[in-house]
Amino acid sequence: MHLRSEEGGRRERKVRVEFGAVSVPLPILEEIDKLIEELGYWPSRSSFVREACLEKLQYERERLKKLKGG
């Protein structure tokens, strides 16, 4: 399926990704909400958590690589 960009050009529709739910303690969500409000960088809790998870995955992969000697 093709979509039109704001500039009028064609772009391909991205592959659909399935999502799952996780539980996060309310005090952590409250801290996330404070950061979102103070910094205004993330549009939602979900975007903050997604970015945090990606950063954590990258960090742990690098750490594992170092532990394996690579």
Q: Would you say 33 and 45 are in contact if contact means Cβ atoms under 8 Å apart?
A: yes
Predicted structure pTM score: 0.71
What is the structure's pLDDT at 10? Answer: 73
Mean pLDDT throughout 5-20?
78
The H or E element that residue 55 is part of is helix 45-67
Q: Would you say 66 and 53 are in contact if contact means Cβ atoms under 8 Å apart?
A: no
What is the structure's pLDDT at 12? Answer: 79
pLDDT tens per residue across span 34-70: 999 999 999 999 999 999 999 999 999 999 999 998 6
What is the structure's pLDDT at 13? Answer: 78
Q: Would you say 1 and 14 are in contact if contact means Cβ atoms under 8 Å apart?
A: no
What is the structure's pLDDT at 14? Answer: 84
